[in-house]
Amino acid sequence: MTKPKISVGAVIDEPGSTIKNKTGGWRSFRPIIDHKKCIKCGTCWQFCPDNAINENFEVNYDYCKGCGICANECPVKAIKMVKEEK
């Protein structure tokens, strides 16, 4: 993590700073999408609270925190949560 600048009162005066804060490291379970099962309904894309699934239903692992909401909501059970191992 790079050191962000220290401003008075932690005020952020430029938009888009969340992009710099990669939260993928928080993840203990990784969503794996089985594209053969996927019906491209968009439910995972819509539900992802971190906007970490794109329109092609690919996961951005830089930001996915592994909450598992996508796997829970998938109507055809095409998303599996797999334990992260180092």
Interaction of residue 13 with other proteins, rule CB under 8 A: yes
Interaction of residue 4 with other proteins, rule CB under 8 A: yes
Burial 12-47 (b: 16+ CB within 10 A, else e): eeeeeeeeeeeebeebebbbebeeeeeeeeebbbee
Interaction of residue 17 with other proteins, rule CB under 8 A: yes
Pick one of 19, 20, 21, 56: the residue that binds other proteins (CB under 8 A): 21
Interaction of residue 49 with other proteins, rule CB under 8 A: no
- Cα 27 vs. chain centroid, distance in angstroms? 9
Q: Kindly list the residues in this chain that would bind other proteins in the complex (CB under 8 A).
A: 1, 3-4, 6, 8-13, 15, 17, 21
